Amino acid sequence: MNKTVILKILLFFLILFLFICCENSIKEPKDYEFNYSSPPPGFPPIPFPVDNPFSSSKEKLGRYLFFEKILSRDSSFSCASCHNPKYAFAGNVPNPLTINKFPLFRNTLSLVNVAYRRTLGWSGEDITLEHAIYNDFFSPLFFDNDTNVIFQRLSSHPFYPKMFEEAFGKGVKPYPYLAAKAIATFVRTLVSGNSQYDKYLRGDSNALTTKQKLGMSLFFSERTKCSFCHSGFLFTNEKFHNTGTTPHYFDFGRYYVTGKLEDRSKLKTPSLRNVALTAPYIHDGTMRTLWDVIENYSRGGFPFFNKDTIIKPLNLTYEEKEALVEFLKALTDMEFINSPRFKSFGY
């Protein structure tokens, strides 16, 4: 076989490879501006880091890359594969499958309002969004790719090279670490604070039903103490607790970070914003409905050696459980979920 034939064969496979990548790449949708300087009432300004400040061009690039599958090894996986906008940027299965079809042992946490979180994940890893995203590019659990391959794919893409220059400066190449910075910028703009509950707080007395108002009273009462952990505008105190949601706790939680026995199987208090969309629940996704969660706390949870002393049987009536579930549904921000920023990507 002469060199000309070999070159033709190699060229054929190169064209085929680029065709497959383009087929799995997103098409350029209509653009939508995001006004980061106007967070919802009661929310502080979005805290963008000094070394990765906000720009609309960077947010746009990060938004495209969040839904982009060519970042993964076989162009089958994107950030949205686990963090789906329809489910408030969480998942809808208890143990999501990785790109290599291995089930993860933890439920996917929502990315909504993650810009305000001090640590990431159920264990509270002290890592920036930028580093977490960059690490996912070559993690066998997620994108399972080589950063050199990612660079080549982005460099040969129809519109990404131009978008990188618009986001980071003329002549800048589409390096993967810059892709991670752009995605992190987009993720920080996922701010949600316009639920029926928020509208009620702002003066719309009809925003909540009678049952939801009863649930709200119970939620913030001394009797249930729900708001002791699910506090503040994020509905989380950002702390770590064992609340007796399972009798076994194979997951050591916070212990993996601190190495302290007293932190064994303590997990971060998740935010309750948009919680009605993020089923299944708790760290291992074994509670399928909000009713299951309320029922667990009503009976006082399962025993465990370092279960939080605040967890005690509540003996809620059926009507009280129903009211709490209805109140939690009132924390859904449908305006955010239905934003054209996400819908334009098919979500």
Same domain? 66 vs 159: yes
Domain hosting 207: range is 196-331
pLDDT at 55: 94
Residue 11 lies in a domain: no
Residue 251's domain is classified under what CATH number?
1.10.760.10
Residue 159 CA: distances (Å) to CA of 64, 221, 266? 11, 54, 45
Taking the model in full, what pTM does it have?
0.89
User: Is residue 46 within 8 Å of residue 39, measured between CB atoms?
Assistant: yes
Q: Which of 139, 169, 191 is a domain's end point?
A: 191
Which amino acid would we find at residue 30? Answer: K
Same domain? 230 vs 114: no
Residue 12 lies in a domain: no
pLDDT at 314: 96
Same domain? 258 vs 109: no
pLDDT at 56: 93
Residue 91 lies in a domain: yes
pLDDT at 29: 56
**What residues in the chain have per-residue pLDDT under 70?**
1-24, 26-37
84-101 pLDDT per residue, tens: 999 999 999 888 888 888
Number of domains in the chain: 2
- Assigned token pair, 52: 């990765």
Q: Which has the closest alpha carbon to 110: 267, 288, 236, 271?
A: 271
pLDDT at 71: 96
pLDDT at 33: 65
pLDDT at 32: 66
- DSSP type of residue 135: H
CB atoms within 10 A of CB 303: 9
